[in-house]
Structure 1
Amino acid sequence: MQTLASLVVLLLLACLCGVHHGSPLPQEVLPRPQENFELEKLLGRWYEVAVVATCPYYMQAQKDNPAIVKFELYNSTEDNVVKMRGTVPSPGSCKQISVDFHLTNQSGHFYHHFDEFNADVETYVVQTNYNEYVIWVILSTEQPSGIKTTLVKLYSRAMNVSESVLTKYKALVRTQGMSEDVIIFKDNKGECDQINAARPV
């Protein structure tokens, strides 16, 4: 169980560090969600193909196993909730993880609370054309320490992306104060065909 918990911590949309790495973003430069965002168009299958974060532990874990992760984003029966389920490649099998995104008053901005680390996680859709790619900026704040982590993730409808999309992603990474040189581009190791029980967070 501890191994699965560690895997979930490393691959979810939040990255939590035990020490402070970098300053929190000032309020005036918080991510701005895409204008005229349409949630229904974002639903469906996505592949996580690239990631960068201010958390060195997370980055090291991604380097150790840089496999593309498949996600399904779909509506929930609960009001103002969108669910995401991910299939994580693991030696000999696959693990399934899930998270409930709560809609906020700002279109394209989601919230969830990670109970295991008492962390508030804000997720922003900053760029997407819905049928090809989406770029997420994720800010997590651990309580009560106030430790903050920033992630920028690139999802694609396919396991590869065009050079024009990569250029947009790298530019977005720079706006968050990170270098494009440290971006981790995921490897296509195929899709999982053996699924273990989901672990919600």
Structure 2
Amino acid sequence: MTIHKIVLSTSEESNTFIGTFHYDRNGTCIQHVGRYMMKDIAGHFVFNSTGAYVGAADIRVVKVNYQEYAFLLINMSKGVNHSKSVNLYGRTRKLTKETTEEFKEFALRQGIPEDMILFLPEKGACVPRDPIPESSVKDRKRRALDKMRKGLSLATS
């Protein structure tokens, strides 16, 4: 399980918005795009997938602080299987202790067992791209650091 980045954007269709998810899967950055249909009630959306993840999700924004976070309740179905999850989306990677405690209480009220409420560790940004072999990354970082050091020595001479 990893932290996901999601970018929401409007669609040409008035009742639809686009969610672009960026996440790490076994060391590779993946990008997944989903279309969400707005329902008649504010904060209520439906997602229907026809790709590799065939299924549907009923999504409700339960609480929102537009500058900081949103609490979501998601009911998913895939064939005869149904599940419920709660998600905490933040505008920043670090949320206040008060926000995480409030989210934990919200999750418990939804019937999520305490041992299933997870706050995942930060693993860095995942920018969609082809994976770069580790040695190339190290070489590039070393060259960039050398360049920066040379620049600093020239500036102080």
Q: TM-score, normalised by structure 1?
A: 0.59
Contact 1:126 1:136 in 2 (8 A): yes
1:117 Cα offset (Å): 5.5
**What SS does the corresponding residue of 1:195 show, helix, strand or coil?**
coil
In structure 1, what residue type is equivalent to 2:66? Y
SS of the aligned residue for 1:185 comes to coil
Q: Give 1:195 shift.
A: 2.6
| Paired position in structure 1 for 2:18 | 83
Using the aligned pairs only, state the percent identity.
26
Unaligned runs of 5+ residues in structure 1 are 1-61, 197-201
Paired residues, what number?
Answer: 129
Does residue 182 of the first structure (1) align with residue 116 of the second (2)? yes
2:45 maps to 1:100 = no
1:163 equivalent among 97, 104, 107: 97
Which structure 2 residues correspond to residues 34-73 of structure 1 after superposition, within 5 A?
62=1, 67-73=2-8
| Partner residue, 2:75 | 139
> 1:151 and 1:100 mapped to 2: Cα distance?
19
CA displacement at 1:142 relative to structure 2: 2.7
**Distance 1:76-1:89 versus aligned 2 partners, 3 A rule:** same
1:126 corresponds in structure 2 to 62
* Displaced runs of 4 or more, over 4 A: none
CA contact (8 A) 2:62 2:73 kept: yes
1:76-107 C-alpha deviation (Å, 9 max, x unpaired): 11221011101112344311011111000111
Q: Which runs of 5+ in 2 are unaligned?
A: 131-157
Higher relative contact order (CA 8 A, sep 6+): 1
1:92–1:177 CA distance, 2 compared to 1 (3 A): closer
Q: CA deviation at 1:74?
A: 1.2
Out of 114, 131, 144, the position equivalent to 2:49 is: 114
Structure 1 residue 194 displacement after superposition? 4.0
Question: In the alignment, residue 72 of structure 2 is paired with which amino acid?
Answer: W
Match of residue 15 from structure 1? none
Root mean square deviation, CA, Å: 1.7
Tell me which residue corresponds to 1:151.
Answer: 85
Aligned match of 2:149: none
CA contact (8 A) 1:70 1:86 kept: yes
Q: How big is the shift at 1:118?
A: 4.5
Q: Residue 17 of structure 2 contacts residue 36 of structure 2 at CA under 8 Å; is this kept in 1? A: yes
Give the secondary-structure state (helix, strand or coil) at the position aligned to 2:99.
helix
Return the letter of the residue paired with 1:114.
S
* TM-score, structure 2 normalization: 0.74
Distance 1:101 1:74 in 2: 10
